[in-house]
Structure 1
Amino acid sequence: MNTVSVEILKDLFYMGVNDRETNLFENMWPLPQGVSYNSYLIVDEKTALMDTVKITKVDGFIDSLKDNLNGKKLDYLVIHHMEPDHSGCIKTVRELYPDVVLVGNKKARGMISDYLDIEIGDNFLEVKDGDVLELGRRKLTFVNTPMVHWPESMVSYEPNDKILFSQDIFGGFGALNGTIFDDEMNFDFFQDEMRRYYSNIVGKYSKQAAKALEKVRNLDVKVICPVHGIVWRTNPERIIEEYVKYANQINEEGVVVVYGSMYGNTEKMADILARFLAEEGIKNVKIFDVSKTHDSYILSEIWKYKGVILGSCTYNNSVYPNMNQLLYTLKMNKINNHILGIFGSYGWSGGAVKELSEFASEGGNFEVLPTIVETKGTAKDEDIEALRQLAKEMAQALRA
C-alpha cells in the first residue's frame, strides 16, 4: 500500500503515496523514477484534509487518514486542484465521512459533478480569492491561481506557521525514496525531473504561472507542501526561485542539437556541428535523436539551455515525422527566449528545411540564425563550412 505518513509540524501530517507502477503520467510522459501524490491533514479544533491521491492508492491512503485523525471526525476536504491524481479519493472520503464539507472555488464545484458524478448538495463551501477558513489555531487563506495549470487551480496559505499548500506548483516527477523533505535530499538528484515536470505539465501556462508566483513571493513562506514531490521545510526559497526561472524561461548558456535521420546523413551533420560548437567554446552541448529520446526529455533540456538547433532529413517531401511531433510539442508549450538554428538534408527533393523555417516563424519567440544549412545526400566541403558558420553564429548570439 506504500503510504508514507510523517508529522511535518505539530498536528500537520504529510500523507503521501509513491507510484512506481504507472509508466506514463497523463498517459504521455515516461515515469522511470515514478511519481508521488501528496496529501496533507491539519488536526485542530476543526480538521482539514488538503486534497487526496490517485484512486489506485486509496486503501493505504484511507488507513493513514484514519490513523492521523485518531478518532476525530473530518470537517473539511480542501480541493486545490481537480485533476484525478489529486481528487481520485474524494468519493471514498465522503462515503466514510458523509458530513465532510468540500472546500473549493466556483469552477471546482462544477468539476466535482463532471468528474466524480456525485451530488454535493449543501456540503460545499465556495471560496474566493482572499477568503479565510478558520480551523482553530490555524487558518487557511485562499489564493486563486487560474490556469496553473487548470482553470480551478488555487493554493492556500496558513499564516501562523507560514505554510503554503501549493497544489501542482513546485511539484516534480519522481517517487520520494525515503526523502520527504528538502533537507533530507540532494536537490541535484531531483532537479532534472522537476524541470521536466514543469516544462511538460505547466510550461504552456508560464505567463499565468509567473503571475501566480508573484503572488506567492509576496507571502512569508516557511514550508511549501506541493501535491507532487518534495516538501520544502528548510529552504523554500530555492524551489521558488527555480520555478520563477522556469516560468520566465530564464535559461543557461548551452545548445541542444536535435536531429531526425534515416540513413545517417543528418546525424553526421549534427555531430560535425556539435564539434564546431565545442571549438567555439560552448561547453554545454547536448545531442538528441528524436527517434530515440522522448519529447519530454528534449523539451526539458530546451527549457534549460538558450540555444536550439533542429535538423531533419526530408521524408515524403516533408519534415521527418518524429521531428514533426517535437515541433508540435515545442509549439504547444510556447517556447520563448531562445536562439534557433536550422539544418537538414534531402535525397532528390527537399521539404524538411522549408518546414523547419516555417516553424521558426510561428512556433515560438526565437532569434533565428541567418545561416541555414541544407545538403543533398551527404555533407560536402561547402556544407561543412556552412555548419562551421552556423556554430560561430550560435556562439556569438549566446554571448551577445
Structure 2
Amino acid sequence: MVATVTTNKPAKKPGKLTMQVAEIAADTTAMRSLDWDRDRFDIEFGLQNGTTYNSFIIRGEKVALVDTSHAKFRELYLATLQGEIDPTQIDYLVISHTEPDHSGLVRDVLALIGDRVTVVGTKVAIKFLEDLVHVPFERQVVKNGDQIDLGNGHILQFVNAPNLHWPDTMMTYDHKTEIVYTCDIFGMHFCDDRLYDEELKDLAPDYRFYYDCLMAPNARSVISAMKRMDDLPQITTVANGHGPLLKYNLKELTENYRTWSQSQTKGETTVAVFYTSDYGYSDRISQAIARGITKTGVAVEMMDLKSSDMQELRELVEHAAGIAIAMPPSNSQATELALGTILAAAHSKQAFGLFESYGGDDTSIDIVANNLTDLGLKPAFPQIRIKEEPSEMIYQLCDESGTDMGQLLSLKQNIKKMKSLDADVDKAVGRLAGGLYIITAQKGEVKSAMLASWVAQASFKPLGLTIAVAKDRAIESLMQVGDSFVLNILEEGNYSKLMQHFLKRFPPGADRFEGVKTRIAENDSPILADALAYIECKVVSRMECSDHWIVYSTAELGRVSKTDTLTATHHRKVGNHY
C-alpha cells in the first residue's frame, strides 16, 4: 500500500511584521516579534490570528537573553535588540530549544555579542546548536534544577521539559520576578498588541487548538514537566514563546494542560511515534501523524531516534500497540542503531505505519516495511512517500493516516464499551431522530466532507446552529473558531446516492468529492448541487463533549432549491454508535 503526494505550492507574499517591546517585571524586558499575517504553522491548519515569537532580556549584575526570533525578523529583531541593550553586555544566551522559530537568529546574535557570551541549554540543545550555527561558542550544559546567579536576586533555575514539543526543550524560572520562561509550552498562535491574557474568551480557542496540535501527542511529557514545575516556588507570570503572556488567567490555563493531558493518557492503548529531530520534515510530519492518532483517544509517545536511550526505546516498543516511524537518514550510525533496536523489539501483535521525512537521504521505506511484515506486524495505513516540501494536503494526509491507525487499534476496546452500556437507555437514546446533512469545507488546499445528523438550530439572533462533530473526523480540523463551512441539507426520497457516497470509508488523502457535482460557495467551500438546500456557516465557538465537539456557528447565507420538499430524516435503533 503506497500513498504518494506531489503538489505545486504557490509562493506566498511576505506578511506584516512588527516588533513590540515592554517591561514585564523588574529588570525584565519582553521583545515580541509579531507576525500578523501568518496563516499556517507546522501542522496546524489555518491560523486565524497570526502568531508571535517572544524573546526576553533579564538584567542583573549580569545579563541574560532568553531565546531569539524567527529568521524573517532578522533586521527588525536585531535593530530592536540593539536599541534596548548593547549586545556586548549580554553574558548568557539561554536557549529554551533549538527549533528555528526561536533560534533562527542565534548565529546573528552571537556575531553581535562576540566571544564573551555563554550559551546555556540542555545537552541535546547544545549539540543541535552546533549543527545549526557552525561557529564556535562558549557553552554551559544545564540539567534539571541547575541554577545561574545573575546577581541582584535574579537566580535562574532550569527545568527540563523534553519533547515539548522538541527533544531539547527546557524552561527557565527567575526566582526574583517569579516568571517562568516556557518557550512553546503554554503558548498559542495569537498575534495581538495586548501583552497579556486579559480576554480569556478571545484566546481560549487558539490556546486549545495549539495544545491539541503540538502538546497532546506528547501528553505524558506534559505531565512529567508539570510535576517538575510543581517543585518551583510561586509563579506569577508565564512568559511563553508564542502569543500573549499568561498572567490574569495563569492558574486556569496552565491547569488545563494537566487536565487535558491526564485525559489523553488514561487509555490503555499506546502508539510509539519515532522521528529524527532536525532532519528534513521528520518532526512535523510525525507530529501530524501523532495528532491524528490522539483524535481517536489512543495515547501517543513520541521519541527522537537521534538522541534516544536504547533501553527506553526498547521498553517503549515492547509495550506499544503500534509503531509509526518517520524514515531516518541512512548515513547516521545513531539512527541506524535505534532502528535496529525497534526491529528487534517489535512483535506480531502490533500494527505499524511508515512515512518518509523528505530529508534527502531517507532510509529505504520498502526495506523497513518488509522487515516489519516479516515479523508479522500489520500495516495500519498506506506508506506515505513525500516527493517535495510538505503542503497542507500532505499534512492532512498524515493526520488522516494517524486517525486510521488509532481507529484500528481502538476498535476492539470501543466494541467492548458499547456492549457494556445499559440496553434500555441505549435503545431509548436511539429513538432521537435527526435530519440528514452533509457538511463540506475547504481551507487552502485542504477540503473535506462529513455525513451528519446531529444538527439543530440554536439561536434566532443571530441565526445560529450547532453540529456535533466526532473528534476523529477529518473535517474537524477545518471547523475551528473562525472557519467557514457549508451545511448541505438532503432531500427526502432523493438522498441515497449522496448518502452512500459520503458513508464510504475514504483512504487517507482521498478526494471525497470525486464524482460528485459541486459548485463553490461564497466562503469557498463546496456546495452539493443535488442538495435540497444549503447554509453557509461560520464557526463562533466550540464546546468539548468527551468524544465529540459541539460546534456553534452562525448562518451567513443560504438557499432552498425546492420549497415544497421535506428534509430527509434519520432514525437509529441504538444510541451508542452511528
**Counterpart Cα distance in 2 of 1:105 and 1:155:** 10
CA distance in 2, matches of 1:324, 1:126: 49
> Is the alpha carbon distance of 1:42 and 1:187 closer, same or farther for their aligned partners in structure 2, counting shifts above 3 Å?
same
Aligned residue for 2:52, secondary structure, equals: strand
For residues 86-136 of structure 1, the C-alpha deviation after alignment (integer angstroms, 9 at most, x for no partner) is 00110110111112211101000111123x241334x11111111101101
- Taking structure 1 as reference, are residues 313 and 206 closer, same or farther at Cα in structure 2, changes over 3 Å only? farther
Deviation at 1:366? 7.9
Q: Does 1:188 align with 2:201?
A: yes
* 1:267 alignment partner, one of 438, 455, 459: 438
1:53 equivalenced with 2:53 (yes/no): no
Q: Show the counterpart of 1:198.
A: 211
Question: Which residue does the alignment assign to 2:227?
Answer: 214
Q: How far apart are residue 214 of structure 1 and its match?
A: 2.2
Q: How does 1:213-292 map to 2 (within 5 A)?
A: 213-219=226-232, 220-249=234-263, 267=438, 270-274=451-455, 285-287=467-469
Residue 230 of structure 1: how far off its partner (Å): 1.4
How many corresponding residue pairs? Answer: 310
Task: Return the offset for 1:317.
Answer: 7.2
Letter of the structure 1 residue corresponding to residue 67 of structure 2: D
> Quick one: structure 1 residues 274 and 161, their matched pair in 2 at CA, closer, same or farther if it must change by over 3 Å?
same
The aligned residue for residue 106 of structure 1 is 123
Q: Deviations over 1:207-261 (max 9, x none)?
A: 11122122223322111100011112344212212222232238xxxxx9xxx9x
Alignment RMSD:
4.0
In the alignment, residue 286 of structure 1 is paired with which amino acid? A
- In structure 1, what residue type is equivalent to 2:212? S
Tell me the CA shift for residue 27 of structure 1: 6.4
Find the residue that maps to 1:207 and give its secondary structure. helix
Letter aligned with residue 126 of structure 1: V
Task: Give deviations 1:292-332, integer Å, cap 9, x for gaps.
Answer: 95726569x9xxxxxxxxx995589742655899xxxxxxx
Deviation at 1:29, TM superposition (A): 2.9
Q: Could you say which residue in structure 2 is the equivalent of 1:371? A: none
* Shift of residue 158, structure 1, vs aligned partner: 1.1
Taking a change above 3 Å as real, the CA distance of residues 316 and 293 of structure 1, as seen in their structure-2 partners, is closer
Q: Distance in 2 between matches of 1:23 and 1:50?
A: 26
Q: Does 1:131 align with 2:302?
A: no
The answer as to whether partners of 1:314 and 1:320 remain within 8 angstroms in 2 is no
Asked if 1:319 is matched to 2:332, the reply is no
Distance 1:88 1:101, change over 3 A: same
Aligned counterparts of 1:71 and 1:143: Cα–Cα separation in 2:
26
Distance 1:106 1:321, change over 3 A: closer
Structure 1 residues 320 and 60: alpha-carbon distance in aligned structure 2, compared to 1, 3 A threshold: same
Q: Flag the 1:53–1:318 CA change in 2: closer, same or farther, 3 A.
A: same
Asked whether 1:393 is paired with 2:576, we answer yes
Letter in 2 for 1:103: V
Q: Structure 1 counterpart of 2:134, which letter?
A: I
Query: Does 1:30 find its partner at 2:51?
Result: no
User: Residue 267 of structure 1 aligns to which amino acid in structure 2?
Assistant: I
AA aligned to 1:237 is K
What is the TM-score when the length of structure 1 is the normalising length? 0.67
Aligned to 1:4: 20
Cα distance in structure 2, aligned partners of 1:52 and 1:227: 10
Where does residue 417 of structure 2 map in the other structure? none
* Distance in 2 of aligned mates of 1:275 and 1:191: 24
Moved more, 80-89 or 64-73: 64-73
Which stretches in structure 2 are left out of the alignment for 5+ residues?
1-16, 265-295, 297-399, 401-434, 440-449, 458-464, 484-497, 513-545, 549-567
Q: How does 1:79-158 map to 2 (within 5 A)?
A: 79-99=95-115, 100-114=117-131, 116-121=132-137, 123-136=138-151, 137-158=153-174
Quick check: 2:40–2:46 contact (8 Å CA) kept in 1? yes
Contact kept, 8 Å, 1:163 with 1:221, in 2: the verdict is yes
Which residue identity is paired with 1:224? V
Query: Which of 26, 29, 34 is 1:13 aligned to?
Result: 29
Q: Could you tell me whether the CA contact under 8 Å between 2:56 and 2:67 is conserved in 1?
A: yes
The separation in 1 between residues aligned to 2:218 and 2:474, in whole angstroms, is: 27
The question of 1:384 aligning with 2:570 is answered yes
Match of 2:13 in 1: none
- Cα distance in 2 for partners of 1:319, 1:292 equals 10
Distance 2:217 2:135 in 1: 33
Q: Which amino acid is 2:261 matched to? A: A
Structure 1's 5 and 320: CA in aligned 2 closer, same or farther, altered over 3 A?
same
Contact in 2 for aligned 1:20/1:35 (Cα 8 Å): yes
Give the Cα–Cα distance (whole angstroms) in 1 for the partners of residues 91 and 511 of structure 2. Answer: 51
Deviation for aligned residue 1:2 = 1.1
For 2:160 and 2:87, the matched residues in 1 are separated by 33
Residues 319, 82 of structure 1: alpha-carbon distance in 2 compared, 3 angstrom cutoff: same
Q: Match for residue 41 of structure 1?
A: 57
One-letter code aligned to 1:212: A
Kindly provide the CA deviation profile for residues 356-382 of structure 1, in whole angstroms up to 9, marking residues without a partner as x. xxxxxxxxx989xxxxxxxxxxxxx9x
Cα pair 2:437 2:451 within 8 Å, conserved: yes
Structure-2 separation of matches of 1:46 and 1:94:
17
In structure 1, the partner of 2:84 is: 68
Distance 1:312 1:162, change over 3 A: farther
Separation (CA, whole Å) in 2 of partners of 1:55 and 1:71: 18
Q: What does residue 170 of structure 1 align with? A: 186
Contact 2:87 2:113 in 1 (8 A): no
